[in-house]
């Protein structure tokens, strides 16, 4: 089953309606800087370092590649076949939104422990919003026992963060694991409302959203060059 939104498009839509529309209908217009690509690579490296603590996991991306719409069905097959399954890039779809979870560990009772891996050293508001849409989708597909964000730990961090897992004894002080299950569950109505608004945006033509500070926060938008075409650059004194 094809999908309309993903977690990355959801985050894009929270930042800018026009960027969301372009991401869905004109993604080839996106331009990423070398610095952005470097950060993507660093994020993948950190994610791999955490995943390496689960040597028996099944990586759906290695099996299915870019056939993302096939991920939910394959994920369901693997979870149903193995009560103790550990999956990388497990796919779930609900409300026309597809999410791929970094690490999913199934307990004997069928509930899931989910780990979303982020390379930043702080638990940002954007990380929370990213996790919220994932929790929303996954919890409508399976029972969620816990949902945690894993991020890079600062040397000064204390016991507020937990370095433990029922699935691996190999975690070290690189990882800060923060359980956000209750907070994410409380965001269900907000996420549903946001998704409905984004679907409405995508049902119409390209929004005429003007450029502004939102082009840079929380991330530099890859469509800035497109939106700025024909726009007179204002003088600092203006």
The percent of residues above 70 in pLDDT, for the chain, comes to 88
pLDDT at 120: 87
Sequence ranges of the domains in the chain: 5-13+35-209
> What is 5-13+35-209's CATH number?
3.90.320
For range 132-155, the mean pLDDT: 93
pLDDT tens column, 91-141: 999 999 999 999 999 999 999 999 999 988 889 999 999 999 999 999 999
pLDDT tens column, 56-81: 999 999 999 999 999 999 999 999 99
Q: Evaluate whether 161 touches 216 at the Cβ level (below 8 Å).
A: no
Residue 137 or residue 157, greater confidence: 137
Classified as helix, coil or strand, 177 is: strand
CB neighbour class for 75 (10 Å; exposed up to 12, middle 13-18, buried from 19): buried
Q: Is the pLDDT of residue 167 over 80?
A: no
Residue 173 or residue 4, greater confidence: 4
Q: Residue 42: pLDDT band by 50, 70, 90 thresholds?
A: confident
From the list 214, 232, 215, the residue with the least C-alpha distance to 224 is 215
Neighbours of 46 (CB within 10 A): 19
Q: Is the pLDDT of residue 157 over 90?
A: no
For range 154-160, the mean pLDDT: 52
From the list 172, 184, 80, the residue with the least C-alpha distance to 139 is 184
pLDDT at 161: 45
From the list 171, 173, 166, the residue with the least C-alpha distance to 121 is 173
Can you read off the two tokens belonging to residue 143? 């029972």
Mean pLDDT of the residues in the chain: 89
Please give the radius of gyration of the chain, using alpha carbons only, rounded to the nearest integer: 19
Residue 121 or residue 157, greater confidence: 121
The percent of residues above 90 in pLDDT, for the chain, comes to 76
pLDDT at 231: 54
């Amino acid at each position: 089953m094809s999908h309309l939104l993903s977690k990355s498009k959801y985050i894009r839509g929270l930042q800018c309606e026009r960027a969301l529309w372009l991401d869905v209908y004109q993604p080839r217009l996106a331009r990423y800087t070398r610095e952005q690509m470097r950060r993507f690579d660093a994020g993948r490296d950190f994610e791999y370092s955490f995943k390496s603590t689960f040597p028996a996991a099944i990586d759906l991306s290695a099996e299915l590649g870019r056939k993302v719409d096939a991920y939910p069905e394959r994920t369901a097959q693997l979870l149903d076949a193995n009560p103790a399954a550990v999956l990388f890039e497990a796919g779930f779809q609900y409300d026309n939104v597809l999410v791929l979870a970094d690490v999913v560990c199934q307990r004997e009772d069928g509930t899931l422990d989910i780990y979303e891996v982020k390379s930043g050293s702080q638990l940002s508001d954007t990380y929370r919003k990213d996790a919220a849409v994932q929790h929303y989708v996954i919890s409508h597909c399976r029972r969620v026992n816990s949902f945690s964000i894993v991020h890079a730990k600062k040397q000064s961090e204390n016991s507020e963060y937990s370095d433990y897992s029922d699935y691996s004894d190999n975690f070290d002080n690189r990882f800060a694991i923060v359980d956000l299950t209750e907070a994410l569950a409380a965001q269900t109505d907000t996420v549903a409302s946001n998704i409905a608004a984004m679907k409405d945006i995508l049902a119409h033509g390209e929004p005429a959203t003007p450029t502004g500070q939102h082009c840079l926060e929380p991330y530099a938008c890859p469509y800035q060059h497109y939106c700025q075409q024909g726009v007179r650059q204002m003088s600092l004194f203006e």
